[in-house]
Chains A and B, each alone.
Chain A
Amino acid sequence: GAVVSQHPSWVICKSGTSVKIECRSLDFQATTMFWYRQFPKQSLMLMATSNEGSKATYEQGVEKDKFLINHASLTLSTLTVTSAHPEDSSFYICSAREWIEGTDTQYFGPGTRLTVL
């Protein structure tokens, strides 16, 4: 099946710094990618939909100025957590949508563990 990678797999940063997470579709092109956040023992919560060549669509309650999303190519979307604080510590997961013969499937990356000190 299609493969989606994320980099880094984990990151530790100081409060106030910015962190960039990359999401790549390795063997297919994705006009749409999604960013999720997962808290311990909680479900994945959709943060935003990333569209290649246009602005991301954010879910209600997600600060677009804090979580900057750039989908510059058909295989790469980035999430930048700006001025990170301890409450931003979480597991961030991306997915990329592939269309085949009129049916779409989301393929998920392995996730990035962010810890803000």
Chain B
Amino acid sequence: GNSVTQMEGPVTLSEEAFLTINCTYTATGYPSLFWYVQYPGEGLQLLLKATKADDKGSNKGFEATYRKETTSFHLEKGSVQVSDSAVYFCALSDQGGSEKLVFGKGTKLTVNP
């Protein structure tokens, strides 16, 4: 079945450091890929998504590229801020849209000033 594996946390960085959170997936066909972010006390929010190979999703300085050859969708940001502290979830959907999401376990990021 479909599955998502993302790097274990927690991740602790200093402000302005470079961030990478690895995500790989297993799926039949051509899934859509998502990154969701959950800030403390809030619900998950869609951060970015990509629907086909080589697509790059981007938002708020974060980027992730859909790599079919490596079945990966790694999240990157060049310079993190304290306000980026949150839990990040990688997810996939093989339904074309956002239905039937399969999530990774989440990676907690803490950014220190």
Which residues of A come within 8 Å of B, CB atoms?
A: 1, 4, 6, 32, 34, 41-46, 49, 93, 95, 97, 103-111
Contacts and interface: CB of A to CB of B under 8 A. Distances in A.
Interface string B84-105: 0000010000000111111111
Given A41-B105, A43-B89, A108 B98 contact: no
14 contacts: A41-B105, A43-B89, A43-B102, A43-B103, A43-B105, A44-B101, A45-B103, A46-B100, A46-B102, A95-B44, A97-B98, A107-B43, A108-B36, A111-B43
A45 B98 CA distance: 14
Given A43-B89, A104-B98, A106-B98, A1 B103 contact: no
A109 to B, nearest CB: 5
A113 to B, nearest CB: 12
A35 B97 CA distance: 17
A43 B4 contact: yes
Q: Is the interface of B mostly helix, strand, loop or mixed?
A: loop
A43 B99 contact: no
A32 B97 CA distance: 13
Nearest to B41: A110
Interface residues of B, number: 20
B46 interface: yes
A4 B43 contact: yes
Nearest to B95: A104
Nearest to B44: A108
Nearest to A41: B105
Interface in B36-73: 36, 38, 41-46
Interface string B16-47: 00000000000000000000101001111110
A104 B102 CA distance: 16
Contact of A93 (B43, B46, B98): B43
